[in-house]
Amino acid sequence: MDTSLKTETTARLAIADSNEAAQQNLEHRTGTSIEAIKQAFLENLFFVQGKPVALATKHDYYMALAHLVRDRMLYRWNGTAESYTQDRCRTVCYLSAEFLMGPHLGNNLINMGIYDQVKAAMEELGLDFEDLLAQEVEPGLGNGGLGRLAACYLDSMASLEVPSLGYGIRYEFGIFEQGISQGWQIERTDKWLRHGNPWEVARPEWATEVMFGGHTESYTDAAGDYRVRWVPSQEVLGTPYDTPILGYQVDTANTLRLWKAEAIESFDFEVFNQGDYYGAVEEKVSSENLTKVLYPNDETLAGKRLRLKQQFFFVSCSLQDMFRILKGQTIPVEEFHEKFSIQLNDTHPAIASAELMRLLVDEYHLDWNIAWEITQQAMAYTNHTLLPEALEKWPISLFGSLLPRHLEIIYEINTRFLELVRMRFPKDSARLERMSLIDESGERYVRMANLACVSSHTINGVAKLHSELLKQTVLKDFYELFPEKFCNMTNGVTPRRWIALSNPRLTKMVTEKIGEGWLKELEKTKQLESLATDSGFQDEWHEMKSAAKRELAGRIHQQFGVLVDPTSMFDVQVKRIHEYKRQHLNALHIVTLYSQLKQNPQMEILPRTFIFGGKAAPGYHMAKLMIKLITSVGEMANKDPDLRNQLRVIFLPNYNVTNSQRVYPASDLSEQISTAGKEASGTGNMKFAMNGALTIGTLDGANVEIRDAVGAENFFLFGLTADEVAKMKFEGYTPRDYYLGNPYLKDAIDLIASGHFSHGDGSLFQPLLDKLLYQDPFMLLADYQAYVDCQRTVSKAYQDQRRWLEMSILNASRMGYFSSDRSVQEYCQRIWKVSPAPVDIDRYIKVSGRFGGELSCKLH
Ligand code: NBG
- Are 722 and 699 in contact by the 8 Å Cβ rule? The answer is yes
CA of 68 to the centre of ligand 1 (A): 35
Section 183-195 average pLDDT: 97
For this structure, is 576 an active site residue?
yes
Most ligand 1 atoms within 8 A of CB, residue of 98, 387, 462, 467 to mutate: 462
Handedness of CA 282, 286, 289, 291 (dihedral sign): negative
Crossing angle of helices 58-87 and 841-848, rounded to 10°: 70
So what's the pLDDT on residue 16?
45
pLDDT (average), residues 710-719: 98
**Cα of 306 to ligand 1 centre, how many Å?**
23
Which of 176, 78, 108, 232 shows the shortest CA–CA distance to 845?
78
| Residue 644 scores a pLDDT above 60 | yes
Question: Does the beta carbon of 149 sit less than 6 angstroms from any atom of ligand 1?
Answer: yes
- How much is the average pLDDT of 209-228? 96
Question: Binning pLDDT at 50, 70 and 90, where does residue 285 land?
Answer: confident
Whether 239 contacts 203, CB under 8 Å: yes
Residue 856, pLDDT > 80, answer no
pLDDT at 50: 94
Provide the pLDDT confidence category of residue 9 given band limits of 50, 70 and 90.
Answer: very low
Beta strand pairing call for 393-395 and 445-447: antiparallel
The answer to whether residues 577 and 614 touch, using CB atoms and an 8 Å cutoff, is yes
Mean pLDDT (the chain, rounded): 94
Q: Are 172 and 292 in contact (CB under 8 A)?
A: yes
What is the three-class DSSP state of 235? Answer: strand
SS (H, E, C) 533-566: CCHHHHHHHHHHHHHHHHHHHHHHHHHHCCCCCC
| Any ligand 1 atom below 6 A from CB of 491 | yes
Q: Given the CA of residue 144, which atom of ligand 1 is nearest to it?
A: 15
Band of residue 853 on the pLDDT scale cut at 50, 70, 90: low
User: Would you put residue 206 in left (φ > 0), alpha (ψ -120 to 50) or beta?
Assistant: alpha
From the list 358, 496, 549, 576, the catalytic residue is 576
Annotate 10-78 with three-state secondary structure.
HHHHHHHHHCHHHHHHHHHHHCCCHHHHHHHHHHHHHHCCCCCHHHCCHHHHHHHHHHHHHHHHHHHHH
Does residue 474 or residue 644 have the better pLDDT?
Answer: 474
- φ, ψ dihedrals at 636, nearest 5°: -75, -45
Q: Is the pLDDT of residue 8 over 60?
A: no
Closest CA relative to residue 552, chosen from 534, 528, 574: 574
CB count within 10 Å of CB 127 equals 17
Is a pLDDT exceeding 70 seen at residue 5? no
Angle at 803 between CA 797 and CA 806, to 5 degrees: 125
With pLDDT > 90 as the criterion, what percentage of the chain qualifies?
89
| Residue of minimum CA distance from atom 9 in ligand 1 | 384
Whole-number Å distance, alpha carbon 146 to ligand 1 midpoint, is 5
Q: By the 8 A CB rule, do 107 and 496 touch?
A: yes
* Catalytic-residue membership of 508: no
Q: CA 192 to CA 136: how far, in whole Å?
A: 9
Band of residue 262 on the pLDDT scale cut at 50, 70, 90? very high
What pLDDT does 274 receive? 81
Q: pLDDT at residue 424 above 70?
A: yes
Quick one: what percent of the chain has pLDDT higher than 70?
Answer: 96
Higher pLDDT, 265 or 241: 241
Contact present, 625 and 768 (Cβ < 8 Å)? yes
CA atoms within 13 A on the CB side of 245: 30
Asked whether the predicted pLDDT for residue 3 surpasses 60, the reply is: no
Integer Cα distance of 221 and 775 in angstroms: 61
Give per-residue pLDDT as tens, 494-524: 999 999 999 999 999 999 999 999 999 999 9
CB neighbourhood size of 597 (10 A): 20
Res. 844: pLDDT tops 80: no
Whether 857 has a pLDDT exceeding 70, the answer reads: no
What is the C-alpha R_g of the chain? 29
Rounded Cα gap, residues 191 and 174, in angstroms: 8
Q: Which protein residue has the closest C-alpha to ligand 1 atom 3?
A: 682
Closest Cα partner for 694 from 810, 818, 539, 568? Answer: 810
Q: What is the model's pLDDT at position 852?
A: 62
Query: Binning pLDDT at 50, 70 and 90, where does residue 631 land?
Result: very high
| pLDDT recorded at residue 13 | 45
Dihedral over Cα of 633, 638, 642, 643: its sign = positive
The single residue of 148, 466, 615, 687 carrying the catalytic annotation is: 687
Query: Is the pLDDT score of 849 beyond 90?
Result: no
Question: CA-to-CA distance for 192 and 130, rounded, in angstroms?
Answer: 20
pLDDT by residue (tens digit) across 445-495?
999 999 999 999 999 999 999 999 999 999 999 999 999 999 999 999 999
Q: Which tens digits make up the pLDDT trace of 57-90?
A: 999 999 999 999 999 999 899 999 999 999 999 9
Active site residue 581: yes
What's the CA gap between 16 and 605, in Å, rounded? 73
Contact at 8 Å (CB) between 782 and 721? no
Give per-residue pLDDT as tens, 364-423. 999 999 999 999 999 999 999 999 888 899 999 999 999 999 999 999 999 999 999 999
β-pair type (234-246, 140-141): unpaired
Report the pLDDT averaged over residues 49-55: 92
Closest CA to 850 of 244, 110, 12: 12
- Supply the residue whose CA is at minimum distance from atom 12 of ligand 1: 682
> Coil, strand, or helix at residue 494?
coil
pLDDT band at 216 (very low <50, low <70, confident <90, very high): very high
| 393 flagged as catalytic | no
